[in-house]
Amino acid sequence: MVRSQFASLDEEDRLRLLRFMCSFAWADLSVSESERGLVNRLGVQLDLTADEREQVEEWLRIPPPPEDVDPTDIPAEHRQLFLDVALQTVGADGHLSDQELETLQLFEKLLPGG
């Protein structure tokens, strides 16, 4: 991932991206070390504040509530970026479970313009 991919994200969209990323990490009901590492690396790239990092750590301990990860809330101009990050997240541990695949398919279907 290159920082320029994320340059157009404002604070709200940065946190939304990480919330979705954590949700995808939880899709198979556990967060692997490789998924955790990927989330943390993106947090560094996005230059999160201490409070934002703490929030992301909380999402890695306990998944974000479903109502907080509504794909229809993603701005259309960020659709591909969110999808790319979702794919990277579920693939981080080298295994794509049925739950992860189903979650990805539903996510893509519900994205604006999907």
Domain limits of the chain? 10-110
- Which pLDDT belongs to residue 22? 97
Helices 50-61, 11-25: axis angle to 10 degrees equals 20
Comparing CA positions, the residue from 42, 47, 50, 36 lying closest to residue 17 is 42
pTM score of the predicted model: 0.89
Residues ≥6 apart with Cβ < 8 Å to 93: 32, 34, 35
Q: Count the Cβ atoms, other than its own, within 10 Å of residue 90.
A: 23
Q: What is the pLDDT of residues 16-57, one digit of tens each?
A: 999 999 999 999 999 999 999 999 999 999 989 999 999 999
